[in-house]
Amino acid sequence: MEPTIYEAAGGYDGLLRLAHAWHERCLADPVASHPFGHPGQHPDHLERLATYWAEALGGPAAYTGAMADHSHVLRLHAGNGEHHDLDERAVACFAAALHDAGFGDDGPLHDTLLAYFRWGTDLMAAHPDTPDDVPEDVPLPHWSWDGPA
């Protein structure tokens, strides 16, 4: 039986390592650092991000079970206008973070995680005008080795 992406990535610890590496890359980028420079970011942002990724990639439903729903996540990212350059820079930072976190520069896991992040970035940009456009009870999207599940 093929492992889930979550299992192949090293579970929560592997995804937390990736979240830290991505955050460091974003902070060092003059464009990608912008969303991280405002007050109000949750003090456990990286742990919550790793928990969100874990659930989306085949791990336990700890994010939606104890933290928030996907509508909440979409609202956090909504109402910021269109920001294609920022999105591309965030994806580039994620690609570099995959290397930094020990996921290499290619291969099935690397490629799957990068495809997931690119897809997820597009999902987060779906409501550029206002958080009020985000519907209630949007299910957390899942990603498989073959793409959206």
Annotated binding site: 72
CB 101 within 8 A of CB 18: yes
CB 44 within 8 A of CB 6: no
Name 70's Cβ contacts closer than 8 Å, sequence gap at least 6.
64, 138, 139, 140, 141
According to DSSP, residue 130 is labeled -
Helix (H) or strand (E) holding 144: strand 143-144
- Retrieve residue 98's tokens: 């995959």
How far CA 115 is from CA of 39, 41, 81, 90, in Å, comes to 30, 26, 23, 13
List residues forming the annotated binding site for heme: 72
